[in-house]
Structure 1
Amino acid sequence: MDNKIAQHLVTLDRHAFFFDFDGTLADLQPRPELVFIAGTLHAALAQLVGRAPVAVISGRPLVQLDELLQPLQLPSAGVHGSERRTAAGEYQQLQLDEDLLAHIEHELRLACEPYPELLLESKGVAFALHYRQAPALESVALQLATDFVSLYPETLSLQPGKCVFELKPKGASKGEVIRAFMAEAPFAGRIPVFLGDDLTDEAGFEVVNALGGLSIKVGEGATIASARLPSVNAVDAWLHALLEVRPVSELGTLQPGGEA
């Protein structure tokens, strides 16, 4: 998509905005609990909320998103769409066997014990194997994740990410929750814009593209997104420019998507 055309399409009165969190609104950190959103970007997001429909679509649980974004409490989807809070405040969640999830977590922790540098993060209805601090364990993490998906194919699906392999509930999809939001007020009737940085966001890009919206990949890597921003700082600058309603000629940060 042409740079100027992409940005000319984005208007606060016609579009609805969806953001991934880690790697999009906040820089990645060595451990997930160290992630934070910069003050300038938080302020811009708060301004956007007052002027257009906004939702956050993340691999994090909703409780973590609320803590990171406070005092904002936005319509959100957590754990890749496993749970969702609508604009009306209704909470929805995929129904899973809690005893089975507890058993899977127990077995995963046992399997990870020989690899203390491999971080197992439990998200309640999903599990993440982080190897950012031990890149040499990538193949180990992949094998563990693949093995558990094979053991529980009716419950789990594999979701690769940046230095992480996630075991998410089968049927969870960022694309489907964006589609659900777009069928509800105040998102319905608007054009979706979705910003994300990781493989987990490609399903969201696919739905947004199909709906005639603007998909924006943050950072490097092949993507089906129609446009690209190079970094979280660039997201901050782009959002501030959008809020200031600058002329198209001054909004020069978006680049075509596709291959990095």
Structure 2
Amino acid sequence: MTAEIQENTTETPLLPVLDSRQYAFFFDVDGTLAEIRAEPDAVTIPAEVRDHLQTLFAASSGALALVSGRPVEQLDQLVSPLVLPAAGVHGAEMRDGNGTLHRVTLPDDVAQEVQQTLEAGMAALPGTLLETKGMAFALHYRQAMLHQQQVLALAESVVAKFPELVLQPGKCVLEIKPRGKDKGAAIYTFMQQTPFSGRIPVFVGDDLTDEKGFEVVNAMQGITVKVGEGSSLAHYRVKTVRDVYRWIEALQRHTLTFNKESEL
């Protein structure tokens, strides 16, 4: 049964500082670890944030993963030189804690027809952007809000023709992805694997695509954090990406302090 999304997500400027040895950390990227940009290729994660993630990754014995709509290859570029466990394309691509990459694919004829249909449809809508991910497609209209309904109609027509695909709304984007793949399923899969299993999950995200992840983590008695405005299943809320950065820095400082005290 799907939990009801609530408006009264707790607004806490100071999130709990956690013992990284007991928790498994999952982070969305765009809108969470990186500011949203009109062009997906313009997105970056600051070097100091990557450094803090590296510290947290080591302190949690590798129980830190990225969970994103982006392909794993793009996630690697954003956090380089780090190579983290990752769920890309909402879990259609997953690199586990051992570094093994698992990928769902579409039949070649389906992928080709969908891409051709979307390319033709989006070309007729100036200002829109089609992002092709192999087994999934993102239809961006952030710079062409007047075409929102046409983009929706195009996406719905494709999903209606191919039952193996589903439509996932996001912030000024519609994603067409394989059925059964979402961030909740990806986090659940990670939590069955080393080094995540036996830990308390923590998930931070900002978009509608993250709500499935919040639902799964809540069911596991974990910690869920919504970034920004809007109704959410998350138990905590912060206002901006900068708040996420400050929290990660606090976690990193706590880890370094604990390590120094342990050496005494």
> Which TM-score applies when normalising by structure 2?
0.88
Among 247, 251, 254, the alignment partner of 1:245 is: 254
2:56 is paired with a residue of what secondary structure?
helix
Q: Deviations over 1:127-161 (max 9, x none)?
A: 11101111111111111111111111x22100000
8 A contact 1:81–1:174 mirrored in 2:
yes
Distance (Å, rounded) in 2 between the aligned partners of 1:101 and 1:226: 38
* Cα distance in 2 between the residues matched to 1:148 and 1:73: 34
CA contact (8 A) 1:196 1:217 kept: yes
The answer on 1:17 being equivalent to 2:45 is no
* Structure 1 consecutive aligned stretches of length 4 or more whose deviation exceeds 3 Å: 1-6
Q: 1:117 to 1:4 in 2, by over 3 A?
A: closer
C-alpha contact 1:197 1:218 (8 A) present in aligned 2: yes
What is the correspondence of 1:104-253 to structure 2 with a 5 Å cutoff?
A: 104-152=114-162, 154-245=163-254
C-alpha spacing 1:25/1:151, structure 2 compared with 1 (3 Å): same
The match for 2:87 is 77
Tell me how far 1:188 sits from its aligned partner: 0.6
Q: CA RMSD in A?
A: 1.7
Choose which of 28, 46, 49 in structure 1 pairs with 2:54. Answer: 46
Shift of 1:122: 0.4
Measured at CA, do residues 2 and 33 of structure 1 come closer, stay the same or move farther in structure 2, by a change above 3 Å? closer
Q: Is the 8 A contact 1:6 1:214 kept in 2?
A: no
What is the TM-score normalised by the length of structure 1? 0.90
Counterpart code for 2:44: F
Looking at structure 2, the residues matched to 6 and 196 of structure 1 have their Cα atoms a distance apart, in angstroms, of 14
Question: Do the aligned partners of 2:170 and 2:208 also contact (CA within 8 Å) in 1?
Answer: yes
What does the per-residue CA deviation read over 1:63-97, in whole Å, with 9 as the maximum and x for residues that have no partner?
11111111111000000111101001121122421
Q: Secondary structure at the match of 1:21?
A: coil
Question: Aligned letter for 2:106?
Answer: L
Q: CA deviation at 1:105?
A: 0.1
How many residues align? The count is 244
Q: Report how far residue 185 of structure 1 moved.
A: 0.7
d(CA) in 1 for partners of 2:119, 2:44: 27
Structure 2 alignment gaps of length 5 or more: 1-9, 256-264
- Alignment map for 1:92-107 (pairs within 5 Å): 92-107=102-117
Residues 141 and 4 from structure 1, CA distance in 2 versus in 1: closer, same or farther, beyond 3 angstroms?
Answer: closer
| Cα deviation, residue 38, structure 1 | 1.4
Higher deviation after alignment, 201-210 or 33-42: 33-42
Question: Cα gap change, 1:6/1:235 in structure 2, threshold over 3 Å: closer, same or farther?
Answer: closer
Q: What letter is aligned with 1:136?
A: L
Aligned residue in 2 for 1:61:
71
2:105–2:134 CA contact under 8 A, matched in 1:
no
Q: Which segments of 5 or more consecutive residues in structure 1 lack a partner in the other structure? A: 247-260
Using the alignment, how far apart are the partners of 2:75 and 2:87 within structure 1?
9
Tell me the percent identity. 45
Deviation sequence 1:173-214 (CA, Å, 0-9, x none): 110110111111111100000000000000000000000100
2:48 alignment partner, SS class: helix
Q: 1: distance between equivalents of 2:13 and 2:171?
A: 30
